[in-house]
Amino acid sequence: PAVPIVYMPEVLTVRYGLRIADLFLADGGIYNCEAFNDHGDAITSGHLIVTDPAGMKNVKCEEPEICFTKTPSPVIARLRGPATFCARLQGNSLSLSHTSFTWTVGGRTVSSTDHRCQVTTEGDCSVLHISEVCAGDAGPITCTARVCSPGVPPTTVSCDTHLGLDCAPGSPATLLRGPSDTTVMRGDRVLLKATYRGSPEPHVRWLKAGRELRTEGRVQIVSRDGVSCLTVSAITADDSGKYVVSVENIHGADCHFASVAVEGPPEPPAARPSVSRGPDCATVAWSSPAYDGGCVLTGYRVEMRTTDSQDWSVVADRCHSLSHVVRGLTPGQSYIFRVRAENIHGASDSSAESFPFTLDSADRREEELEAEQEGEEGTLMQVSLEPGEQFLQRYSVHEELGKGRYGVVHKVTDLRTQHTMAAKFVRCIKKQDREKVQEEIDIMNCLRHPKLLQLVAAFENPKDIVMIMEYISGGELFERVVADDFTLT
C-alpha cells in the first residue's frame, strides 16, 4: 500500500518524516533516507523494531542480506567530457567485514594505473570518476562488491548501469584543406595552415614524429573560426620532417600531413683537417659535415695561410672528394689549412684549423702528433666498454632524439670539446642482450669511412649500455628520400 509522507517545516531547516499506520511485525527492519541534488548526495539509516502487542515481546526482524542501497545512475556524457558513478552497500555486518569494489567500463576492468578512470572507496561507498570519456567507454558500467566477513563465506554482489555518448545533432570533423609541403631557409619562420569544419567545434592537434606540439618557445598554435595555424620561428635543421594535423569531434575525425624541408648553407666539415706530407707536396683530408643544408653538396673549398700571416688564400674550389693534394709549397715555411663545404645556398663556416705543417720537417713534432691523434684521429681508435660512471663525467645529456624497441637516443655534448654527439641507451636485461650490443660495437669498430656513422665511445651500466656516436642533424633519412625534390647521389 502507498505510504503517506508528512512534510514538517522547522525554522532554518527542512525535515521529512515517514509515517506508517497499522504496523505489522513484517514492517520491522532497516529504513534508509537518501537526499541528493546536482552537487552530491547523503544517506542516513534507522532500525525499526516492532513488538508483539499481546506478549510485549520484542521481535526483531531478520537482518537483511548485503545489497546495494544506491546503484549508479545512467550517464550520457560528451566525448572527452567527465562522467561519475556512485554505489553504496547495505548490511549491519559491514563494519566487521572487509569490502573491496571492482568497476568495469566497456567490458574492461578499471586498474589502479588507469590515468583516466579513478576509483575512490570510503567505507561502504565507492565512486568511479572518468576524466575524459572516449568512444570505447560507452556501454555497460558494472560495480562488483566482494564482502569477506569472519566465519562466513565471502559474499559477492553487483549492479549495472549504462554510459552513453551525447549524440547531439552536428557534423563530423573534416579538414577542408590541409597544410602544403614547404621548403624554408634555416633561421626563417615556417607557417603551416589548415582549414576545417565540424559541429560541435572539433578538437585540433598538431604532431611531429608522433609527439603532440604545444604553444611554447619557438612554436605557436592558433585555432579558431575553422582555421588552425602552426608557426615555428628561427627554424633549425632538426625542425625538418613530417607534420600532422588532426581534427576530431564526437561525430568523426580527419587528418592530413605535410613535409617541411629546411635548407641553407651546410654545416662546417666535422673535426679538424689532417695534413700528411708527400715527396714535394701536402695532402689535406677532412670529414663531411653533419648537415648538408638540406640539399646536395656542390663541393669543398680548401683555404691556406702561413703561420706568420692572417690572410687566407683559396688553394682548391669545388673539390668533390674528401682530400686534396696541395703543391708549390715553400720548403721550411709552416702552413695552416681549413675547409668549407658548399651547396647552392653558399659556403659553410670554416672547419677547425689544421695543426701547423712544415714541408721540410723530417719528423712531426711529438706534441702535434699527440694533439692530432687526440682530436680528429680519436674517432678512429678501437672502442671498448668503459665504466658507466665515466659517462656523466664526460658528457651532458639533452633532449630525446628518438626511441625504439630496445632503447632511446639522446643528444649529448662532450664536456671537453663541446662537440655535439648522439648517445644510444640500449637496455640490457639478459646476458644475450649484452652480447648483441658487444657484437654491434665490434662491427662499428670495423666500419671506418668518412661517409659512415662513427662510434666514439661506449659505457657499461648495470641495466644498460650507452653508445656514443656522431650526431647527424637534418631530420629523418626516410623523409628526405621520399621528398619530391630530393636528389639521390
Closest by CA to 219, choosing from 198, 245, 259, 192, is 192
Per the listing, cell 532497516 goes with 30
Is-contact 272 372, C-beta < 8 A?
yes
How is residue 406 written as a grid cell? 630496445
C-alpha 430: how far from chain center: 26
Q: Which residues are annotated as a binding site for ATP?
A: 431
Residue 296, C-beta contacts closer than 8 angstroms, at least 6 positions apart: 343, 344, 487, 489
CA distance 129 to 117: 6
Q: How many Cβ atoms sit within 10 Å of the Cβ of residue 245? A: 25
Long-range contacts of 357-364 (CB under 8 A, 24+ apart): 357/275, 357/277, 357/282, 358/332, 358/333, 358/334, 359/277, 359/280, 359/282, 359/329, 359/330, 359/331, 359/332, 359/333, 359/335, 360/331, 360/332, 361/277
Per the listing, cell 526483531 goes with 60
CA distance 256 to 245: 6
Is-contact 245 175, C-beta < 8 A?
yes
One-letter amino acid at 256 equals H
C-alpha 137: how far from chain center: 24
How is residue 322 written as a grid cell? 674528401
How is residue 254 written as a grid cell? 580527419
Give the C-alpha distances (Å, rounded to integers) separating 323 from 172, 342, 472.
60, 15, 21
Cα-Cα-Cα-Cα dihedral sign, residues 446, 450, 456, 462 = negative
Q: Which residues are annotated as a binding site?
A: 431
262 burial via Cβ count (<10 Å: 0-12, 13-18, 19+): buried
One-letter amino acid at 83 equals A
